[in-house]
Amino acid sequence: MDGRPPIITLLSDFGLRDPYVAEMKAVILTICPRAVIVDISHGVRRHDIRMGTYILYRATRYFPKGTIHVAVVDPGVGTKRKPIVIETKRSTYVGPDNGLLALPAGKEGILHVYEIRNPKYILREVSRTFHGRDIFSCAAAHIANGVPPSKLGPELSDFVKPIFAKPRVIDGERIIGEIIYIDGFGNLVTDVSPSELTLLGIEEGDEAKVVIGGRTLKLRLCAAYGDVPAGSPLLIFGSAGLLEVSINMGDAARSLNVKVGDRVVLEPLYKS
């Protein structure tokens, strides 16, 4: 261990009004007083594992090697779903085995997955409804103190993976993608990557035909929101590296009446 204090991040669907997040932090600081705790988000929609996964996936990339991520979107708490720890090449993930951790952990290269079972590293009394406090935070704090994840319980060979639609390029002529996230500004994050747009021959400055929310729009692929007038829609590669449909100074989700899971179809516009 070097002199850097260990970082533990927290993500949940608990909100910030209730005492739940504070109880998790209290458990962590009791066990590991030098831990630096960083909230990723507690505004995940109740039980929305997919939204939690997207936020976790985005944010964890920027944390330093060795960070411990605790994530709790856990509709199956108290049932047979297992509490797990995933050790990757960069970080450690602690949470329920319901698909929440698989995507960000997988991206980093998974080394081992363990079920959390050793009573030494969880609270003495485990409630049926709040494993975020009684199991996950407690285990994470022990890991921050140097306990190897392999001590927490038996290694698992399998765990739950989430299912996402993948954008498809049809006949090299159009992409059928999906809205996977809507941020607080109303920006529509799709699952379309730069390389897919390149396959269609759409480059920065080009216009594309976009079918979304029952409408057909002609949108330019811009480098900045301010490249179109205030109130106008545009395409832009957002800070997650994925294609977004946005409105400069406006709210695309509201204006286009679109929600997470909706389809977006993209086609190049050929000069006639």
Residues engaged in binding a second copy (CB under 8 A): 4-5, 7, 9, 14-20, 22-23, 25-27, 29-30, 33-34, 36-44, 46-47, 55-56, 58-59, 62-64, 75-79, 127-130, 133-134, 183-185, 223-227, 236-239, 249
Closer to a second copy by Cβ: residue 16 or 165: 16
**Cβ proximity to a second copy, 27 vs 175, nearer residue:** 27
Which residue number, 114 or 130, has a Cβ lying nearer to a second copy? 130
Name the residue nearer to a second copy (CB basis): 23 or 267. Answer: 23
Q: Which amino acid is at 125?
A: E
Closest to 177 (Cα-Cα) out of 245, 88, 269, 105: 245
- DSSP-assigned letter for residue 133: I
Q: From the CB of 146, what's the least distance to a second copy, in Å?
A: 17
**Closest CB 155 distance from a second copy, rounded Å:** 26
In the chain the first and final C-alpha atoms are separated, in Å, by 64
Least Å distance, CB 77 to a second copy, is: 7
Complex with a second copy: residue 206 or 267, whichever CB lies closer: 206
- Min dist. Cβ of residue 120 to a second copy (A): 19
Q: How far is the CB of 236 from a second copy (least distance, A)?
A: 6
Cβ atoms of residues 50 and 78 within 8 Å: no
8 A C-beta contact, residue 99 and residue 129: no
Q: What is the DSSP letter of 60?
A: H
61 or 112, CB closer to a second copy?
61
Nearest approach, Cβ of residue 270 and a second copy (Å): 26
d(CA 82, CA 61): 25
* Rounded to 5°, angle at Cα 64 from 238 and 2: 170
DSSP 18-54: SSHHHHHHHHHHHH-TTPEEEEEES---TT-HHHHHH
